[in-house]
Amino acid sequence: MQIDVIPASSPLVKSRLPAADYCVNPYTGCSHACRYCYAVFTKRFTPCKAFKAAPWGSYIMVKDYKDAKIQAEKIKGKVVLLSSVTDPYQGAEKQYGGRRRCLELLRPTEARVEILTKSDLVLRDIDLLKTTPHLTVGVSLVSDDDGVRRVFEPGAPSAERRIAALKQLKAAGVKTYLFISPILPGLTGITALANALGAYAGKIMFENLNLREPYKKTILALIKHNYPHLTELYEEIYIRKNLAYWREAEKEIAGVNHADKQIFFHHGGSQAIGRR
C-alpha cells in the first residue's frame, strides 16, 4: 500500500448528493479496492503522480486533520456524510485516525452525522458514536457469502465481521441502518439479508449495481470468470439494458417486512425506475 499524508484545514466539502449537505472524506483512495467502485475518478484530485498510475485500492492519500477546524454554525441541522468517495474505517485509520478526529470535531455541533462503512473498525469509536447526538451508522453489505465479498471487495472486511459490527452497534444503542449495496444480480439475496438483519437496523436501504465504464468491463469479466452461469443475465441487464430484473427486485423489496425501506435504483439517464 502506497501512503502519502497531506495537511487539511477543514474536513467539510459541500455535497452534490441529494441525501447530504456536506461530506467528509478523510482519505483519497480506498484500500477496500471494490471492483465496482465509482470513486476511482477521485484519482484525478490527488497531487501525487505515482497514485494516478497506480491500481485502485493500492494507494491512499491521508488528510491530516490535526489542525483542522469546523464552523459549527455552518452545519447546524445539516446532514454530514462520512464518507462519499472512500471508506473512512479502512486499514490506515488504525494508524492515522482521521475519522476519529472528524468525530471529535463534529460531536459538539448540531449536525446530523451519517457514517457509512464496510468495516468493523467502526467499533473502535463506539464511545464517540454513543455520545454524538443525531448520529447514524450504516453498514454496507452485498452478500452474507464471503466468497462474493472476496471477488468484488477484496480489501474489505468479511461479511461476517460487518454483520457482527452492525449487531454490536445496535446493542450499544447506536442508531443504525443496513445498506444492501450494490445489489449484484443473481448473487445478492435481498430478502434473506433484509430478513436476517432487519432487526438490527432502523432503516434498510437498497441500491442496485449500476455499471459504467471503466469498471463495467471489469465486472462483466469477473462474472464470466467466477460465475459463468450468470453471464447471460448480466449481458441482458447491462448490455441489452433490460430492466425486468430490477422491476422484480423492486417487488421483492416491497415484500420485505420492515417499517423503513428506501430504494435507490439507478440505471443512468432517463431509465431510472426506482428512486424514491
Q: Which residues of this chain interact with ligand SF4, rule CB under 6 A? A: 30, 32-34, 37, 39, 85-87, 118
Kindly provide the b/e burial profile for residues 216-254, where b requires at least 16 CB atoms within 10 angstroms of the residue's own CB: eeebbebbeeebeebeeebeebbeeeebebbeebbeebe
* Nearest distance, CB of residue 184 and ligand SF4, angstroms: 13
List C-alpha distances in Å: 104 to 69, 76, 164. 10, 16, 25
Which residue, 27 or 234, is less far from ligand SF4 as judged by CB?
27
* Nearest distance, CB of residue 94 and ligand SF4, angstroms: 16
Which residue, 38 or 130, is less far from ligand SF4 as judged by CB?
38
For residues 127 and 113, what is the distance between their CA atoms, to the nearest angstrom?
A: 15
Which residue, 158 or 231, is less far from ligand SF4 as judged by CB?
158
Residue that has been written with the C-alpha cell 430478502 in this structure? 191
AA letter at 105: L
* Nearest distance, CB of residue 41 and ligand SF4, angstroms: 11
Helices and strands of the chain, counted as H and E runs: 10, 11
Which residue, 89 or 109, is less far from ligand SF4 as judged by CB?
89
For residues 91 and 119, what is the distance between their CA atoms, to the nearest angstrom?
A: 9
* Nearest distance, CB of residue 219 and ligand SF4, angstroms: 12
What interhelical angle do 190-197 and 244-254 show, nearest 10? 20
Burial class (CB in 10 A: 0-12, 13-18, 19+), 3: middle
* Nearest distance, CB of residue 150 and ligand SF4, angstroms: 14
Which residue, 34 or 263, is less far from ligand SF4 as judged by CB?
34
* Nearest distance, CB of residue 220 and ligand SF4, angstroms: 18
Q: Which three cell numbers stand for residue 126?
A: 463506539
Which residue, 33 or 68, is less far from ligand SF4 as judged by CB?
33
